[in-house]
Amino acid sequence: MNSFQTDAENILAAVAAQGLYRKRRIVASPQGVHLTADGRELINFCSNDYLGLANHPEVIRAFKNAADRYGVGSGSAHLVCGHSAAHHALEEELAEFCGRERALLFSTGYMANLGAISALIGSGDTVIEDRLNHASLVDGGLSSGARFKRYRHADLEHLANTLNAVSGKKLIVTDGVFSMDGDLAPLPAIARLAQDKDAWLMVDDAHGLGVLGEQGGGVLEHYGLRQSDVPVLVGTLGKAFGTFGAFVAGSDTLIELLIQKARTYIYTTALPPAIAEATRASLKLVRAENWRRDKLKHLTERFRQGALQIGFELMPSPSPIQPILIGDSRKATAFSEALLDQGFLVGAIRPPTVPQGSARLRVTFSAAHEEAEIDRLLDSLDRLKAT
């Protein structure tokens, strides 16, 4: 035990020395653009609550009413006695929203990705993933037992060569919007490759659903792709929808397979029915209030123009994820702390979340932000760059 303690302390010291130590903040307010964290009043530029729905009165009302009806917990897994009418209604509405035959709820996005990949492929098969995929997709591929291949980020030639080099059942897996870079996967070309090479395609659109597309249908609506182009769609509910949980959407056959084979669905407690009802309310807002997406796009463009004028290096992102590339982890952390002192909460993203030498400030926007808050952040960034 003493040896283990010493080893743990040495590991922690090494992490801190590299500027990679992570700390939690204690939030004492509802999620929103104005946040109370560690006793400080801050303007929040690091949340994934892109449409500002996490604290929306209608979503809260739906949650409270459902808690009165269903209670708090779901009691068990979906396949035992935890699948409520609220869950079932939400699955049907999500399927219709995504233009798919069916949808299946999971308790988290991480579990959706691990469960889907492991249910679809196994020993003797091959999973091929974008090198910048989210950790949950990578872990899903590694835990599936299949051969695990990675192609250079958005590199279609490398993907094609990788597909040509393997035989048997193949699953291509990619993010729709890459969470740390904010760019979009070249899905139309990937979908064509998948069809040409007899591979299935799975897309995690956690950061696109609700945000992209005229109706909020995400990266697939943005590109005009259908279920036949992307057979497996994963979405999360804790970002633009402002609630919690995740889902996989696709054909009836796909969903039945996941019900029978996805261990992270079978062997875990269903999310609370009140969360499902709150998500049904947020889904209505996502579909009805296009102004939220319009405003989000306007704020993002305003920030990009201002940041480029200041001289910061931005990444080619059309999404509300706007990373400012810093490079050095310690410098990125110092920038984040300096912004905190000026009343802004902006995350410093460092390895292993991003590749070595690409530490960054991950600035994210919400439809609840105002232009004046964007301009204040730009002023602070300008002063920081001059120091």
Spatial separation of the C-alpha atoms in residues 348 and 291, rounded to whole Å: 30
pLDDT at 307: 94
Q: What are phi and psi of 219, to 5 degrees?
A: -65, -30
Spatial separation of the C-alpha atoms in residues 174 and 153, rounded to whole Å: 10
In sequence order, the β-bridge partners of residue 48 are none
Cβ–Cβ < 8 Å for 353, 181: no
- Long-range contacts of the stretch 341-346 (C-beta < 8 A, 24+): 342/380, 343/40, 343/41, 343/42, 343/43, 344/42, 344/43, 344/45, 344/376, 344/377, 344/380, 345/25, 345/35, 345/37, 345/42, 345/43, 345/44, 345/45, 345/46, 346/45, 346/46, 346/377
Q: What is the mean pLDDT of residues 367-376?
A: 97
| Residue 324, CA distances (Å) to 74, 199, 302, 361 in order | 41, 35, 15, 5
Q: What is the mean pLDDT of residues 326-349?
A: 92
Q: What is the mean pLDDT of residues 31-57?
A: 96
The answer to whether residue 177 scores a pLDDT higher than 80 is: yes
The answer to whether residue 1 scores a pLDDT higher than 70 is: no
The answer to whether residue 285 scores a pLDDT higher than 80 is: yes
């004028």: which residue's tokens?
Answer: 309
Q: What is the mean pLDDT of residues 320-348?
A: 93
Q: What is the DSSP string of 190-203?
A: HHHHHHHTT-EEEE
Tell which residue, 104, 96, 90, 74, has the closest CA to residue 282: 90
Q: What is the mean pLDDT of the chain?
A: 96
pLDDT one-digit tens code per residue, 229-254: 999 999 999 999 999 999 999 999 99
pLDDT at 385: 81
The b-or-e profile of 11-41 (16+ CB within 10 A means b, else e) is eeeeeeeebbeeeeeeeeeebbbebebeeee
Question: Annotated active-site positions, please?
Answer: 179, 207, 239
pLDDT at 20: 84
């974008």: which residue's tokens?
Answer: 130
DSSP-derived pairing of the beta strands 102-106 and 40-44: unpaired
Peptide bond connecting 352 to the previous residue in cis, omega within 30 degrees of 0: yes
3-state DSSP assignment of residue 299: helix
Q: Which CATH architecture has domain 57-288?
A: 3-Layer(aba) Sandwich (3.40)
pLDDT at 370: 97
Structure tokens at 124: 């003797």
Structure tokens at 277: 């009802």
Q: What is the DSSP string of 200-232?
A: EEEEE-TTTTTTSSTTS-HHHHHHT--TTT-SE
Q: Please, which residues have CB within 8 angstroms of residue 277's CB and are 6 or more apart in sequence?
A: 62, 63, 65, 66, 70, 86, 90
pLDDT at 387: 74
Half-sphere exposure of 103 (CA within 13 A, CB side): 24
Q: Please, which residues have CB within 8 angstroms of residue 87's CB and are 6 or more apart in sequence?
A: 74, 78, 105, 270, 271, 273, 276
Spatial separation of the C-alpha atoms in residues 177 and 185, rounded to whole Å: 6
In sequence order, the β-bridge partners of residue 319 are none
Structure tokens at 103: 């949808």
- Long-range contacts of the stretch 215-218 (C-beta < 8 A, 24+): 215/287, 215/290, 216/240, 216/286, 216/287, 216/290, 216/293, 217/97, 217/98, 217/99, 218/98, 218/176
Cβ–Cβ < 8 Å for 375, 306: yes
What does the domain layout of the chain look like in residue ranges?
Answer: 23-51+290-386, 57-288
Cβ–Cβ < 8 Å for 360, 323: yes
pLDDT one-digit tens code per residue, 294-307: 999 999 999 999 99
For the chain, percent of residues with pLDDT exceeding 90: 89
Pick the CATH number of 23-51+290-386 from 3.90.1150.10, 2.60.40.2550, 3.40.50.720, 1.20.1250.20: 3.90.1150.10
pLDDT one-digit tens code per residue, 148-162: 999 999 999 999 999
Q: How many CB atoms lie within 10 A of CB 333?
A: 18
pLDDT one-digit tens code per residue, 186-206: 999 999 999 999 999 999 999
Structure tokens at 383: 């002063």
Any idea how long the chain is?
387
pLDDT at 273: 98
pLDDT one-digit tens code per residue, 220-229: 999 999 999 9
